[in-house]
Amino acid sequence: MQLALPAGAFRAYLFDCDGTVVDSMPLHYIGWTQALSEWGARFDEETFYAWGGKPPKEIIAELNRLQGLAMPVEAVAERKEQLYFSLLPQLKAVPEVVAHIDAQYGRIPFAVVSGSNRESIVQSLTTVGLLDRFDLLVGHEDYARSKPAPDGFLLAAERLGVAPQECLVFEDTEMGIAAATAAGMASVRVPQPHERR
């Protein structure tokens, strides 16, 4: 399956990381279910995918609120990340996205804009051998409002010195597409794992 790009001469590509460059969402879900089960929390797969792009601490705080729990946000987020890192040997890149990275590498700048933290981005991209392709990494610690707010994408455009309307965003979630649209950027939706199979 090929990803069709919208028409336009784009001067930068901005990529979400999880579920877009790397096929990490199934591995993140395993990490989530293991970490949350230790606290009696539920996190169904449909909600997990719907919340794609939300930083881990926001997810835990929201689950606390919805389920009447008092999970320690920092500790559970750290536990979930460690469980995800233990699964990294299974991680693969998303070939349909890598094809576009290969086609434009060295011609225009690339940035990753993720709801994950920088350590998670670096570990994931290093695992699949793509870290050196990106000029800029923007993690959730770099901006105030998470997707669907446009903050992360606007910050990336500013740091790359490219106008928002000249950036093309690659995203796998509705929240990510909404953030790109709010930033005034064209976008490409990367199908979720179950859609690609």
Does the pLDDT value for residue 197 go beyond 70? no
Residue 53 confidence class, pLDDT cut points 50, 70, 90 = confident
DSSP 4-52: PPPSS--SEEEE-SBTTTB--HHHHHHHHHHHHHTTT----HHHHHHTT
What's the mean pLDDT in 42-54? 92
Distance, CA of 11 to CA of 122 (rounded, Å): 24
Distance, CA of 28 to CA of 83 (rounded, Å): 8
Residue 127's alpha-carbon distances to 27, 81, 120, 124, in angstroms, are 13, 15, 11, 5
pLDDT > 90 in the chain, percent: 92
- The answer to whether 16 is a known catalytic residue is yes
Does the pLDDT value for residue 195 go beyond 80? no
The mean pLDDT of the chain is: 95
For domain 12-23+92-196, the CATH superfamily is HAD superfamily/HAD-like (3.40.50.1000)
Ranges of each domain in the chain: 12-23+92-196, 25-89
In this predicted model, what pLDDT tens digit does every residue of 120-146 receive, in sequence order?
999 999 999 999 999 999 999 999 999
Topology at the third CATH level for domain 25-89: DNA polymerase; domain 1 (1.10.150)
What is the pLDDT at residue 2? 84
What's the mean pLDDT in 156-185? 97
Buried b (16+ CB within 10 A) or exposed e, 166-175: bbbbbbbbeb
Closest CA to 16 of 91, 120, 144: 120
Q: Which H or E element spans position 170? A: strand 167-171
What is the pLDDT at residue 187? 98
Residue 62 confidence class, pLDDT cut points 50, 70, 90 = very high
Does the pLDDT value for residue 194 go beyond 90? no
Cβ–Cβ < 8 Å for 116, 94? no
Distance, CA of 54 to CA of 47 (rounded, Å): 11
Does the pLDDT value for residue 3 go beyond 70? yes
In this predicted model, what pLDDT tens digit does every residue of 75-119 receive, in sequence order?
999 999 999 999 999 999 999 999 999 999 999 999 999 999 999
